[in-house]
Structure 1
Amino acid sequence: MNDTIAVKPAVTLIGVTTRTTNAQEAGANGLLSGLWDSYFTSGISERAQVNNGHLIYALYTDYESDASGAYTVLIGHERADAQAELPDGLEQATVPEAKFMVFKTKKGPVYEVVAQAWGEIWAFFEHSSIERTYGGDYELYDGRTFDPANAEVDIYIAIK
């Protein structure tokens, strides 16, 4: 898994959300696969003005504590007008300006490579002097080239 450092400006997102924990996602009652189903049926880019509609964000935000606590996930797009009224069933969240460590997954089935990468990310930060901020982390998918059977995903982890 490759990693680099990048500073990114704040961005406001619009999408579908759920609140979960890593423990819940590891079991049979995980919510993320259902959230992805909701995203694909939501028609977000047709219902709301978005920028860079080909970029799909899976934002992890509102952390209760750290990787072991509850957090909110929003799957969606960059919002074109953060002041516009929210369409029914959609939520808004902002990724704050931050310094990110960017991890690139291996190529392979999306659910496998993303889960494997998160495991490696957690292990990395357990043994690293680099600290996470838990201010907003995200997976970034390019819808123009996305192949669920052979995906490669960038994961942005906010750091101090």
Structure 2
Amino acid sequence: MNFKIVEKDEIILVGKEIRTSNEDKNCRIEIEKLWKEFLEQKLGDSIQNKINSGEILGLYTDYENKEFGTYSFIVGYEVSDAAAVPEGMVLKVIPPSKYCVITAKGKMPESIGETWKYIWNADIQRIYTGDFELYDKRYDGSENSEVDIYVAVK
């Protein structure tokens, strides 16, 4: 798979959170359920100070034991100011980082899962401060959708 290395400044994210684990057989179902709730209930509408309302992030953070333990998964928006966090949502601050960016292409969510399997088995020196999927205008639900996965690296 092709990738690129980029550096990003601190990211302030506001969104809805769950705790899960890749070892949990219901992990994928719980993440999909969170996405459905976020989108169908239009939870993002209550988030103020969005940097880009056309980009939703799926953030993996607060890792207990790298990809083997529990972690937080948050669906939300990057914001410029964290003054107001809607009830039932959380604020996460991801430090400035260097990222390996890999683009998942094709039918979703299958392509996302295949790309994560590649990441877990690749020789990438991850730092587990916060990894995220970026859903923008290239994600349209078609067989040609694209999602960038940002993996924090040394």
TM-score (norm 1): 0.88
Residue equivalent to 1:97: 96
Structure 2 gap ranges (5+)? none
Structure 2 match to 1:149:
142
CA distance in 2, matches of 1:17, 1:2: 30
User: In structure 2, what is the equivalent of residue 108 of structure 1?
Assistant: 106
Q: Please give the alpha-carbon distance, in whole angstroms, between the structure 2 residues aligned to 1:97 and 1:54.
A: 22
Q: How many residues align?
A: 151
SS in 2 for 1:68: coil
CA-CA distance at 1:119 after TM superposition: 0.3
CA–CA distance in structure 1, aligned partners of residues 41 and 94 of structure 2? 21
Structure 1 residues 59 and 32, CA, compared in 2 at 3 Å: closer, same or farther? same
Q: Contact (CA 8 Å) 1:102, 1:157: kept in 2 or not?
A: yes
Q: CA deviation at 1:108?
A: 1.6
Report the alpha carbon displacement of residue 28 of structure 1 after superposing the two structures with TM: 4.2
User: Normalising by structure 2, what TM-score?
Assistant: 0.91
Residue 8 in structure 1 maps to residue 2 in structure 2: no
Q: The residue matched to 1:40 in structure 2 has which SS?
A: helix
Q: Summarize the Cα distance change of 1:155–1:28 in structure 2 as closer, same or farther, 3 Å threshold.
A: same
Residues 86/42 of structure 1: CA separation in 2 closer, same or farther (3 Å cut): farther
CA contact under 8 A between 2:99 and 2:150: conserved in structure 1?
A: yes
| Paired letter, 1:132 | R
Q: What is the rounded CA distance, in whole Å, between the counterparts of 1:79 and 1:156 in structure 2?
A: 18
**d(CA) in 2 for partners of 1:45 and 1:154?**
20
Q: Is the 8 A contact 2:139 2:147 kept in 1?
A: no
Runs of 4+ in 1 over 4 A off after TM superposition: none
Gaps of 5+ in 1: none
RMSD: 1.5
Q: Secondary structure at the match of 1:34?
A: helix
Alpha-carbon distance, 1:22 to partner: 0.8
